Amino acid sequence: MSPMQIDVVPDEPTLAVRAADAICTAVLAKPDAVLGLPTGNTPIRAYREIARRIERGQADFRRAIVYAIDEFADATRTTPGTNSVFYREHLRFPVGALHIPNPAARDANEHIVAFADALRRSGGFDLCVLGIGRNGHIAFNEPGSAADAPACVVDLAPASREAHAATFGSLDAVPARGMTLGVDDILAARAILVLAHGARKATIVRAAIEDAPSAEVPASWLQTHAAVTWLLDEAAASQLAPR
């Protein structure tokens, strides 16, 4: 297995600054970098920090290409809780292009396969930023996803739907299916950054980093990648063995 870099910071605000550092560094090194950027609570502070740096003239994302790593199916681009709405609300800085799967796609499977093909034609991710679900999912690759899992439509696990109930307004409003780039697409990234904060993530973070890679914890496949950094606050790292 390739060595992973584990960076532990005191708290979530510090994590956000460090995540912004990493994303801005990737764009500084390659202004037209292709980025995979996640949704969820963890990256919101980082996106605010990037926006502040852009306003101060300390960063420029106008040539960067951003791809969403997943999206809900059977919804619309204006459905509260979808990733399409998330990016409009939280990615408040100019980028060269922002590509998000269409939640209203008539054939969701055909659509996400074409989306992944477009990513590959663009050269693939220079940096893919991920969160980790409490069941170990990355993007919407739920437990049971193999290392070579392709982009596809998935049935969302109950834990994944429950995690989004607040943003959709209720559990019943959360779509049952999601479109996702595959584990294979993620592992093709030249660099990967994983963000996790809070004690509720500690058990799955430990499993993903310390247990043998397994389809039951899709994030554990990241152990096989040559350039992965885990950026954790102290609470999320609290179950890791001393290093």
Among residues 49, 126, 137, 141, the one annotated as catalytic is: 137
Is 74 one of the catalytic residues? Answer: no
Q: Which residue type, as a one-letter code, is found at position 62?
A: R
Rounded (10°) CA dihedral 89, 92, 94, 95: -60
Tokens of 20: 């912004």
Among residues 90, 135, 184, 234, the one annotated as catalytic is: 135
Is 155 one of the catalytic residues? Answer: no
Contact 51, 115 (CB under 8 A): no
Alpha-carbon distance of 220 to 206, in angstroms, equals 10
Backbone phi, psi, residue 138, to 5°: -125, 135
Dump the DSSP string for 7-61: EEESSHHHHHHHHHHHHHHHHHH-TT-EEEE--SHHHHHHHHHHHHHHHTTS---
Q: Which residue type, as a one-letter code, is found at position 136?
A: G
Among residues 49, 70, 71, 126, the one annotated as catalytic is: 70
Is 32 one of the catalytic residues? Answer: no
Among residues 49, 126, 142, 185, the one annotated as catalytic is: 142
Dump the DSSP string for 11-26: SHHHHHHHHHHHHHHH
- Terminal-residue alpha carbon distance, the chain: 17
Is 83 one of the catalytic residues? Answer: no
Backbone phi, psi, residue 231, to 5°: -110, 110
Residues annotated catalytic, as ranges: 70, 135, 137, 142
